Amino acid sequence: MKNKGLTKVDLIFETVDVRKVMQKAFEMTSEEIIQQVLESGLKGRGGAGFPTGLKWKYTAAEKDPDKYIVCNADEGEPGTFKDREILDKVAPKVYAGMAIAGKAMGARKGFIYLRGEYRFLLPQLFVELHKFHKMIAEIGYDFNIEYRMGSGAYICGEESALFESIEGRRGEPRNKPPYPTTSGLFSKPTSINNVETLVTAMMIIEKGPLEYVKLGTKDSRGSKVFSISGDTPIPGIFELELGMTVQQFVNEFGDGDTKAVQVGGASGFCVPRKKFADTIIGFEGVPTGGSMKLFNSSRSMYNVLHNYLEFFTEESCGQCTPCRVGCQQLFKGIEKVKKGEAKSTYLNELVKLADTMKVASKCGLGQSVGNAFKSIVENFREEIIY
Amino acid sequence: MVTLKINEHEVKVAEGTTILSAAKTLGINIPTLCNHPDLCVAGNCRVCVVEQKGARTLVASCATPVSEGMEIQTNSLKVRNARKHIVELLLSEHRADCTKCYKNQNCELQTLANEYSFGEHIFLDLVEDHNYVIDRSSPAFIKDDSKCIRCQRCVRTCAQLQHVSAIAVSHKGSEMKISSFHDRPMSHVVCTNCGQCVNRCPTGALTEKTYIDQVWDAIYDNDKHVVVQTAPAVRVALGEDLGYDPGERVTGKLVTALRQLGFDSVLDTDFTADLTIIEEGTELLTRLKKVLVEGDKTLALPMFTSCSPGWIKFIEHKYPHMLPNLSTCKSPQQMFGALAKTFYAKKRNLDPANVVSVSIMPCTAKKYEADRPEMRSSGYKDIDYVLTTRELAVMIKQAGIDFRTLEEGHYDSVMGVSTGAGVIFGATGGVMEAALRTAYEIVTGRPVPFKNLNIMPVRGMEGVREATIKIEGTMEEWRFLEGVELKVAIAHGLVNANKIAKAVSQGKAQYHFIEIMACPGGCLGGGGQPIPTNADIRQKRMEAIYAEDMHMDLRKSHDNPEVTAIYQEFLEKPNGHKAHELLHTHYTERESY
């Protein structure tokens, strides 16, 4: 299989003259900005991978005079810690991405919904925000950003639950449609983007889409910041070009005994050793919001799955039946099988349940619980049973 | 208009219609649980999922609007599998001890289980993993979390229809539950006991607290004289629990059934409804005179009605500074109770200690009202037991009575004669209409100037209604009201009551008299009425109430001969000393948070 190999990139953390980029964007029309983001092929970096240019285009097309740009910084996926690093190191680039998005869509207000545990970043973030506001006002932007804090619920990273939370209600996902681009925060057209997406969009404006599309593959343009953890000698944050195989990734980051890689966190997929070479990290293979966990042969995949299911059992908002009860059933179900209190064939019923959760849950949380469950049960069935 | 295909049938519906409603127009039934016609869409139970061609996942038909060219399958393999799983999941967290459950055979989950989940259950029973509690603290209802399926109908009812939010969702994931403020017992939160949540709970998680066994015990006790009173709204709804269509008037059969159950005397709340009109009408006219003519600052206008115990508790919690605006009249139930153990006992030569007073009410808040410490003016507990319409239906079934074949009975006397004005207390606007029929005539000596005494401007189902009645040709004593435009307002459902109370509180509304009923539609939509409820059913009950009124020989409370007699024999005069002692009450400021 042809692939791009493993290449380190420096785009997100690259030092740039933010003022210059803001000046450049200020002189562009809304259509030009959106066109450039569309041409770049950028897809959302939070994990779901919706084309960013389209999201912006839809929001821009709405007639409402009040629109919002929301930066999703509620980084909660187990094994992801790249947004913290981005905000810590290059917050002005995040702000710039938001202001550019605001200009493109005709929004004058932006909110950053920051994970509760990242509160310690705030003092520095405020200092930089103050400078940023001053700088863009000088250029002529009419755009203002405010912070809103999360309080530890994983579900509030889901876009519509995040809106509910900002609006002062319990963080529960809404019915869709309507989508945020038509009715989002405070029922106004809203573009909600991940921290990294906004920085990437800003860098696309800086470098031009032609430069950006040189990176990555047809389905997965550009580069991505990975949060690498688990059984690796070099855990941490690395920006890599998209298009590598899991094998190439493991060759670089593994400890020589890697038996599985969990790509995309608890809601992502488990790739076993036998599939490393054939699996591309990206939208044509296994997509990821950045979380890469490596497991070596000393790890029990039962424990890994048990841990994920316990997480989902607690972090489901509890609103819809498939997710609230389904998570508990999967969690208790594998315990029963492990203890021999249920037949091993009960796992087949649970796999069917995971399929139901995927198609019948209200939001992305319940819909993706089956990813980890099925990929671990199918590839490590013996570890679950014995 | 939007054209779409459901199960290969083409259908044209208005934009914004849900898939669920569109399917209904084709006669295709999609099962639902969290959906309720009175409430906003939740889309959380997922029972109604259907397959949409081209969509990544199944979609909730209750929450998804139709779109042009949409192709829907409501019964595909994928849908059936998902639906069966969802029902099984709900059953796995539900204590399914159906034979012990009060809602047995009137449970929407049970109905679904019958269709989708017979035989062995697929999944593990999760009930024992949870530390569920049954909250019996409220005198009006029981909250059993082990039967809750988290559809949040109750939460939406309490917030959206009643503006109370006594219950809300707390915790998340497997611990997510319907909870009260700080998890306090329901008796210690801002709850009006209106029972609207009970009316909309699809399972047995919320049920009224039943007193059926206590009532049977009293009936079988030969030392006790058990009197029963029936509220106006019961007679137009009881039939629904006994196989009749909504809107059937079963007054005569109701009386016969009660007699067959063994009550010693079958009497009518409508009698004290008429009495309420005399007391409350007099109070209103007196207040108007004192405030408008004498400039008395100790009395407050506008005056609010006080018949609805849900409303009383609401204002005690939310607008305690307006308690002086409440009429001091007890509700008809409590007036009846006070008289049953005084006037009635004396008249029938009974020891009041041996009189057991039972009321059949469309209401759960009446259970709370009967327990209030103020409601002992006879020297005993004025009302011993309150049964809902639903509980009475259970008793009739228990007794093996074939309701349909019963003869039409008549209420006993005394305290059994009533007028049409008493009957319409059961509908929103009815107290207002009854009061106007009497007050207008007291002031002018002439009947209200409306055809057949039907004061149409105060009737209807709109949440808040206003009307103005010009008073002309007054009698000498009421000359000060000559030419006055009497401004009245009516609200039903506490969310609407709140609108009026807020406006009055802020000085933005200039009314003289305001009728408030806590429940949608008034008592006919009360928390003790047959389940299910929806706008159509309430409309039919309302039509039956007004038909009952038209059917009565007497239509005005002051024409009730028993009312005239009780003043001569016992109460002396309206708002007199004895009346105050027995028929009036006071209110208590309660906490809010």
Task: Assess if CATH 1.20.1440.230 describes domain A301-385.
Answer: yes
Hey, of B50, B109, B174, B176, which one would you mutate to test binding to chain A, going by the most A CBs within 10 A of its CB?
A: B174
Catalytic residue check, B48: no
Tell me the percentage of chain B whose pLDDT exceeds 70: 100
Is it the case that residue B91 has pLDDT exceeding 70? yes
The pLDDT-based confidence of B292 (bands split at 50, 70, 90) is confident
Residues contacting A212, CB < 8 A, separation 6+ = A40, A41, A42, A203, A204, A221, A222
The ranges assigned to domains in chain A are 18-212, 301-385
How many pairs of residues across A and B have Cβ atoms under 8 Å apart? 121
For residues B347-352, give the mean pLDDT.
97
Complex-level ipTM: 0.95
B52: chain A residues, CB-CB within 8 Å: none
State the amino acid at position A181 in one-letter form. T
For residues B361-387, give the mean pLDDT.
97
Q: What is the four-CA torsion angle of B473, B478, B481, B486, rounded to 10 degrees? A: -90
CA distances A192 to A115, A159, A195, B57, B233, Å, are 15, 7, 10, 22, 52
By DSSP bridging, strand B9-13 and strand B2-6 are antiparallel
Query: What chain A residue is nearest to B34 in terms of C-alpha separation?
Result: A320
A327: chain B residues, CB-CB within 8 Å: 173-174
Q: In DSSP terms, which residues pair with A79 in a beta bridge?
A: none
pLDDT of residue B341: 97
Query: What number of other Cβ atoms are within 10 A of residue A315's Cβ?
Result: 22
Cβ pair B34, B43 in contact under 8 A: yes
CATH code for the structural domain at B2-75: 3.10.20.740
pLDDT of residue B524: 98
Among candidate residues B240, B248, B280, B515, the one labeled active-site is B280
The DSSP H or E segment spanning B170 is: strand B167-170
Cβ-defined contact of A329 to B89 (cutoff 8 Å): yes
Whether A49 and chain B come into contact, CB under 8 Å, resolves to no
Query: What number of other Cβ atoms are within 10 A of residue B464's Cβ?
Result: 16
| Closest by Cβ to B43, choosing from A155, A322, A362 | A362
Q: How far apart are CA A188 and CA B21, in angstroms?
A: 27
pLDDT in tens, A209-227: 999 999 999 999 999 999 9
Please give the CATH architecture assigned to the domain spanning B121-207.
Answer: 2-Layer Sandwich (3.30)
B41: chain A residues, CB-CB within 8 Å: 175
Question: Prior bond to B302 cis, omega within 30?
Answer: yes
Residues contacting A321, CB < 8 A, separation 6+ = B44, B45, B46, B47, B86, B89, B90, B149, B150
**What six digits make up the tokens of A251?**
């060759």
pLDDT of residue B220: 98
Q: How far apart are CA A233 and CA A214, in angstroms?
A: 30
Q: How far apart are CA B394 and CA B392, in angstroms?
A: 5
Q: Which of B8, B54, B52 is nearest to B28 (CA)?
A: B8
Q: Which of B81, B46, B80 is nearest to B62 (CA)?
A: B46
Whether B93 and chain A come into contact, CB under 8 Å, resolves to yes
Is it the case that residue B463 has pLDDT exceeding 70? yes
Query: What chain A residue is nearest to B149 in terms of C-alpha separation?
Result: A321
pLDDT of residue A1: 42
Q: Compute the Cα dihedral for A281, A284, A290, A293 and give only its sign.
A: negative
Q: What is the four-CA torsion angle of B421, B422, B425, B427, rounded to 10 degrees? A: -60
Catalytic residue check, B280: yes
Whether B178 and chain A come into contact, CB under 8 Å, resolves to no
Whether A324 and chain B come into contact, CB under 8 Å, resolves to yes
Binding-face residues of A in 332-351 toward B, CB within 8 A: 332-333, 336, 342, 349
Query: What chain B residue is nearest to A328 in terms of C-alpha separation?
Result: B174
Catalytic residue check, B515: no
Cβ pair A98, A68 in contact under 8 A: no
What is the overall mean pLDDT for chain A?
Answer: 96
Compute the nearest-CA separation of A359 from chain B (Å).
4
Question: Which of the residue ranges A3-12, A156-165, B295-304 would you say has the lowest mean pLDDT?
Answer: A3-12
For residues A369-384, give the mean pLDDT.
97
pLDDT in tens, B38-78: 999 999 999 999 999 999 999 999 999 999 999 999 999 99
The DSSP H or E segment spanning B315 is: helix B309-318
Query: What number of other Cβ atoms are within 10 A of residue B231's Cβ?
Result: 30
Q: Give CA A81 to chain center in angstroms.
A: 11
pLDDT of residue B204: 97
N-terminal to C-terminal alpha carbon distance within chain B: 47
Is it the case that residue B18 has pLDDT exceeding 80? yes
Among candidate residues B208, B369, B433, B515, the one labeled active-site is B369
Whether A169 and chain B come into contact, CB under 8 Å, resolves to no
Cβ-defined contact of A170 to B169 (cutoff 8 Å): yes
The ranges assigned to domains in chain B are 2-75, 121-207, 210-593
**What six digits make up the tokens of B490?**
């009516």
pLDDT of residue B79: 97
Residues contacting A266, CB < 8 A, separation 6+ = A77, A78, A79, A308, A311, A312, A372
Among candidate residues B71, B88, B374, B543, the one labeled active-site is B374
pLDDT of residue A48: 86
Hey, of B49, B150, B155, B172, which one would you mutate to test binding to chain A, going by the most A CBs within 10 A of its CB?
A: B172
Over its C-alpha atoms, chain A yields an Rg (Å, rounded) of: 21
Equal fold, B2-75 vs B121-207? no
Quote the Cα angle for B145-B184-B103, to 5°.
30
Q: Got the DSSP string for A336-369?
A: HHHHTSS-TTHHHHHHHHHHHHHHH-SSHHHHHH
B168: chain A residues, CB-CB within 8 Å: 170
Cβ-defined contact of A322 to B92 (cutoff 8 Å): no
Beta strands in B299-412 (DSSP E): 303-304, 355-361, 385-388
Q: How far apart are CA A279 and CA A243, in angstroms?
A: 10
A317: chain B residues, CB-CB within 8 Å: 172-173, 176
Query: What φ, ψ does residue B331 adopt, rounded to 5°?
Result: -70, 160
pLDDT of residue B363: 97
Compute the nearest-CA separation of B483 from chain A (Å).
49
Eight-class DSSP state of B238? G
Q: How far apart are CA A259 and CA A271, in angstroms?
A: 9
Whether A167 and chain B come into contact, CB under 8 Å, resolves to no
Hey, of A172, A316, A319, A335, which one would you mutate to test binding to chain B, going by the most B CBs within 10 A of its CB?
A: A319
For residues A71-86, give the mean pLDDT.
96
Query: What φ, ψ does residue B526 adopt, rounded to 5°?
Result: -65, 165
| Closest by Cβ to B172, choosing from A153, A175, A329 | A153
Whether B220 and chain A come into contact, CB under 8 Å, resolves to no
pLDDT higher at A357 or B129? A357
State the amino acid at position B303 in one-letter form. M
Among candidate residues B45, B101, B148, B523, the one labeled active-site is B523
| Closest by Cβ to B57, choosing from A172, A342, A367 | A367
Cβ-defined contact of A361 to B92 (cutoff 8 Å): no
Which of B552-586 are b and which e, b meaning 16 or more Cβ less than 10 Å from the residue's Cβ?
bebbbbbbbebbeebbeebbeebbeeebeebbbbe
Cβ pair B329, B571 in contact under 8 A: no
What is the overall mean pLDDT for chain B?
Answer: 97
Helix A18-26 / helix A195-207 crossing angle, nearest 10 deg = 70
Please give the CATH architecture assigned to the domain spanning B210-593.
Answer: 3-Layer(aba) Sandwich (3.40)
pLDDT of residue A152: 93
Whether B77 and chain A come into contact, CB under 8 Å, resolves to no
The pLDDT-based confidence of B558 (bands split at 50, 70, 90) is very high
Cβ-defined contact of A322 to B44 (cutoff 8 Å): no
Whether A274 and chain B come into contact, CB under 8 Å, resolves to no
pLDDT of residue B593: 82
Among candidate residues B117, B179, B265, B327, the one labeled active-site is B327
Residues contacting A26, CB < 8 A, separation 6+ = A103, A139, A140, A141
Q: How far apart are CA B18 and CA B42, in angstroms?
A: 13
Q: Which of B289, B263, B239, B337 is nearest to B540 (CA)?
A: B239
Whether B115 and chain A come into contact, CB under 8 Å, resolves to no
pLDDT of residue A3: 60
Q: Which of A319, A320, A330, A331 is nearest to A354 (CA)?
A: A330
| Closest by Cβ to B92, choosing from A177, A329, A361 | A329
Catalytic residue check, B477: no
**What six digits make up the tokens of B250?**
């079963």
Q: Which homologous superfamily does the CATH classification assign to the domain defined by A18-212?
A: NADH-ubiquinone oxidoreductase 51kDa subunit (3.40.50.11540)
The pLDDT-based confidence of A2 (bands split at 50, 70, 90) is low
pLDDT in tens, B253-275: 999 999 999 999 999 999 999 99
pLDDT in tens, B95-120: 999 999 999 999 999 999 999 988 88
